[in-house]
Amino acid sequence: MNWTWFHKLGSPKWFYEISGRWLPWLSISAALLILVGAVMGLAFAPPDYQQGNSFRIIYIHVPAAFLAQSTYISLAIAGIVGLVWKMKIADVAVQQAAPIGAWMTVIALLTGAVWGKPTWGAWWVWDARLTAMLILLFLYFGIIALGHAITNRDSAAKACAILAIVGVVNIPIIKYSVDWWNTLHQPATFTITEKPAMPMEMWLPLLIMTIGFYCFFAAVLLMRMRIEVLRRESRTRWAQAEVARQIGRSA
Amino acid sequence: MNPVRKKRLIIIVAILLGVAATVGLGLTALQQNINLFYTPTQIANGEAPQGARIRAGGLVKEGSLTRSEDSLTVDFVVTDGDADTGIQYRGILPDLFREGQGIVALGRLNENGVLIADEVLAKHDENYMPPEVSSALEKTGMLKHYEDGQKEARK
Amino acid sequence: MSFDSFSEFLAMGNHGVYVWSSYGISFVILLLNVALPILARQRYLKNEARRLRREAQQ
């Protein structure tokens, strides 16, 4: 296997150039997919036979919850890469992805509460799934706070990476909580491996929204990482040239 | 991979395994506290504490729902297939409440083993379908079959 | 289209408050996530421009 791309990732300049090329495509696909998915989910998908129209909240709740968990897994992977290969860009990724993951968790929890009220009859229940999701939010807060609290960049990177890696045990707990324990939350509707538990016209908007949310995450992450890379590389010639070019363009 | 990196990776994997084992043991020990509700079988076996506020969960048994004439009091039975628990509740039931639906009720067991509930929550399953499909399935008597099939497929 | 009229679409079968509030909150959060890095970038460039100008004067 050819590993040159992996080692190239270690070069901030290379990352900055390649991400600049991807960013417009990711942004456009994210905006289009989320718009199309939301319109399809809100107006064209049929209502559920039991829940009626409140079921349309699924088109935000499930993609956000999916992304909240995937983001944490990518934090852990970036943490391992940062600790083992001492790759600087991995630390940038951990620091910049954590706030996005936290916001996604907030969306999942809020829409879940709003959905729970008409469906279950309660905003919040302390069942295993909901509690594990709340713990995920606190893990994100922990990583963000650690990154800000430690002034030495290398120690901060190490501490955040370790917290990200250790906290990843929460992910299987979230995923399997509905199978391991009695919970109010229903098991997964949207799985990659199994036949979806809903007809095509309900499932397609969910798929589009989920892909849209992933593109959104990638676009926002690249935006955030590019600023941070410029900041950290401000002593190098290429970053100074890039900043000068950007200033010239905006002036 | 060079030996330094390999060593770091092994340390990380070891830490992760240790944490996972600790959390796993902790969760197993807390098993009963993490469960949101007791099933009728657990209540019948006396696993649920008498007099304390507990949650009972199961499917509302078909034909068991009786509404009182003069008040909001309802009586029904929840079942998990093996055992039944009677529930008495005073108040407005959630929209999704119906016979055959999964519910969770919060309250105290009285001396007859009936749960006097002050809160009833509806549990939803993971299957969604448009109203036309469900009524078509119901007409042909296939709804039950479909739901069972979904459950089987999951196992 | 699963609604007959626009008012029915807004009402969402008396679940309108729940559906629209969750979509509303979520879109505000999504927009916030886009706006924050854009603002941060502008702030950084402005600071750098000021610094460069100061250095040029010295």
Question: Tens of pLDDT along A105-134?
Answer: 999 999 999 999 888 888 888 888 999 999
- Least CB–CB distance from A107: residue in C29, C34, C38: C29
Taking the C-alpha atoms of residue B47 and residue A103, their distance in angstroms, rounded to an integer, is: 40
At A4, the amino acid letter reads T
* Dihedral (CA of C45, C50, C51, C55) sign: positive
Q: What is the pLDDT of residue A81?
A: 92
Mean pLDDT value of segment C2-19: 84
pLDDT-based confidence at residue B140 (cuts at 50, 70, 90)? low
Q: What is the pLDDT of residue A211?
A: 96
> Which residue's structure tokens are 């919970």?
A183
Q: What is the pLDDT of residue A183?
A: 84
Ramachandran angles phi, psi of B89, nearest 5° = -140, 140
Strands B115-123 and B53-60: unpaired
Q: Which residue has the higher pLDDT, B154 or A175?
A: A175
At A169, the amino acid letter reads V
CB atoms within 10 A of CB C23: 19
Selected residue of A19, A54, A109 to mutate for chain C interface (largest C Cβ count, 10 A): A54
Tally of domains within chain C: 1
C29 in contact with A, Cβ within 8 Å: yes
Taking the C-alpha atoms of residue A190 and residue A62, their distance in angstroms, rounded to an integer, is: 8
CB atoms within 10 A of CB B35: 18
Residue B143 clears pLDDT 80, i.e. is over it: no
Question: What 3-state class would DSSP assign to A48?
Answer: strand
Interchain proximity A186–B120, CB inside 8 Å: no
Minimal CA separation from B135 to chain A, in Å: 8
ipTM, interface predicted TM-score of the complex = 0.90
Q: Report the length, in residues, of chain C.
A: 58
Taking the C-alpha atoms of residue B60 and residue B64, their distance in angstroms, rounded to an integer, is: 8
Q: Which residues of A119-137 are buried (b: 16+ CB within 10 A; e: fewer)?
A: bbbbeebebbbbbbbeebb
| Spatial CB neighbours of A175, under 8 Å, sequence gap ≥ 6 | A69, A188
| Spatial CB neighbours of A51, under 8 Å, sequence gap ≥ 6 | A118, A119, B96, B124, B128
pLDDT-based confidence at residue C7 (cuts at 50, 70, 90)? confident
Q: Which residue has the higher pLDDT, C33 or C16?
A: C33
Interchain proximity C40–A64, CB inside 8 Å: no
* pTM of full prediction above 0.90: no
Chain A residues in contact with B94 (beta carbon < 8 A): 119-121
pLDDT-based confidence at residue B151 (cuts at 50, 70, 90)? low
A118 in contact with C, Cβ within 8 Å: yes
Q: Which residue has the higher pLDDT, B58 or A192?
A: B58
A216 in contact with C, Cβ within 8 Å: yes
Q: What is the pLDDT of residue A35?
A: 96
Strands B102-109 and B66-67: unpaired
Taking the C-alpha atoms of residue B127 and residue B124, their distance in angstroms, rounded to an integer, is: 8
Question: Residue C20 domain-assigned?
Answer: yes
Question: Residue C10 domain-assigned?
Answer: no
Question: Residue C31 domain-assigned?
Answer: yes
Taking the C-alpha atoms of residue B84 and residue C45, their distance in angstroms, rounded to an integer, is: 69
Q: What is the pLDDT of residue B155?
A: 41
Selected residue of B30, B35, B36 to mutate for chain A interface (largest A Cβ count, 10 A): B36
- Nearest to A30, CA basis, from C24, C26, C19, C30: C30
Minimal CA separation from B48 to chain A, in Å: 14
Q: What is the pLDDT of residue B142?
A: 56
| Spatial CB neighbours of A135, under 8 Å, sequence gap ≥ 6 | A170
Question: Residue C24 domain-assigned?
Answer: yes
Mean pLDDT value of segment C33-53: 93
Mean pLDDT of chain B: 80
Q: Report the length, in residues, of chain B.
A: 155
At B9, the amino acid letter reads L
Using an 8 Å Cβ cutoff, are A69 and A118 in contact?
no
Question: Residue C45 domain-assigned?
Answer: yes
Tell me which range, B4-13, B90-99, B140-149, is most confidently predicted by mean pLDDT.
B4-13
Interchain proximity C30–A224, CB inside 8 Å: no
> Which residue's structure tokens are 């900043």?
A243
DSSP 8-state symbol, A125: -
Chains with 3+ CB–CB pairs under 8 A to B are A
At A122, the amino acid letter reads A
Tell me which range, A63-77, B31-45, B52-66, is most confidently predicted by mean pLDDT.
A63-77
- Nearest to A183, CA basis, from A140, A241, A120: A120
CA atoms within 13 A on the CB side of C10: 3
Q: Which residue has the higher pLDDT, B136 or A21?
A: A21
CA atoms within 13 A on the CB side of A152: 4
Chains with 3+ CB–CB pairs under 8 A to C are A
Mean pLDDT value of segment B42-67: 84
Residue B95 clears pLDDT 80, i.e. is over it: no
C10 in contact with A, Cβ within 8 Å: no
> What is the distance in angstroms between the CA of the first residue and the CA of the last residue of chain A?
46
Residue B79 clears pLDDT 60, i.e. is over it: yes
Domain that holds residue C30: 15-57
Tokens of B136: 């078509």
DSSP 8-state symbol, B45: T
> What is the distance in angstroms between the CA of the first residue and the CA of the last residue of chain C?
67
Selected residue of B27, B53, B128 to mutate for chain A interface (largest A Cβ count, 10 A): B128
pLDDT-based confidence at residue B109 (cuts at 50, 70, 90)? confident
Tokens of B50: 């008498």
Residue B154 clears pLDDT 50, i.e. is over it: no
Question: Residue C53 domain-assigned?
Answer: yes
Instruction: Name residues of chain A where pLDDT drops below 50.
Output: none
Cα Rg, chain A, nearest whole Å: 20
- Least CB–CB distance from B126: residue in A121, A180, A189: A189
- Least CB–CB distance from A250: residue in C23, C40, C45: C45
Interchain proximity A247–C30, CB inside 8 Å: no
Q: What is the pLDDT of residue C41?
A: 93
The distance from CA B140 to its chain's CA centroid, rounded to whole angstroms, is 28
